[in-house]
Amino acid sequence: MENLSIFSERLKELMAEREMRSETLARETHIAGSSIRSWLRGDSFPTFSSAVKLADYFSCSLDYIAGLSDKFESVPPRPLPPFYPRLRRIMEEQGVTRFSVTEHTQIKDAFFTNWSHGQLPILPTLFALANFLNVSLDYLVGRTDY
């Protein structure tokens, strides 16, 4: 998966700029060192929460760290709104239904039910949602208002 390798490289670059090792990043972000090493190897994506912690720590956009944008944009940390109500609002603003999302993406309808009960999407699902809705990851999750 292309985004996975880009994410891994971006994380390496951001850490190198600070001359930082995975142990230091783990300690400062309260993320398991084994998870960080897995991401650096390109074995897996971080969870929603970990991706936000990383973007907050490096004060960058989720789109940048995830490889969806080549432009480094400084995005200061802020509390996130609950995911599902925000998604529903964005979908309503765009006149998009659950049916249209499931018809045009690989996203299953059951995911909406899970999200409505507080589960958070995985990054590849966020990528698909942001792409379909033509919004940034940061806007989708509430890190920015644009």
Tens of pLDDT along 131-145? 999 999 999 999 999
Residue boundaries of the structural domains of the chain: 2-65, 83-141
| Identical topology for domains 2-65 and 83-141 | yes
Q: Would the pLDDT of 127 be above 60?
A: yes
Nearest to 71 by CA among 84, 79, 62: 62
Is it true that domain 83-141 has CATH number 1.10.260.40? Answer: yes
Give the model's pLDDT for residue 2.
Answer: 77
The label of the residue with tokens 């971006």 reads 10
Q: Is residue 18 very low, low, confident or very high in pLDDT (cuts 50, 70, 90)?
A: very high
Tens digits of per-residue pLDDT, 46-70?
A: 999 999 999 999 999 999 999 999 9
pTM recorded for the entire structure? 0.93
Give the model's pLDDT for residue 1.
Answer: 55
Give the model's pLDDT for residue 56.
Answer: 97
Structure tokens at 80: 């996130």
Residue 65 carries which side chain, given as an amino acid letter? I
The CATH class given to the 2-65 domain equals: mainly alpha
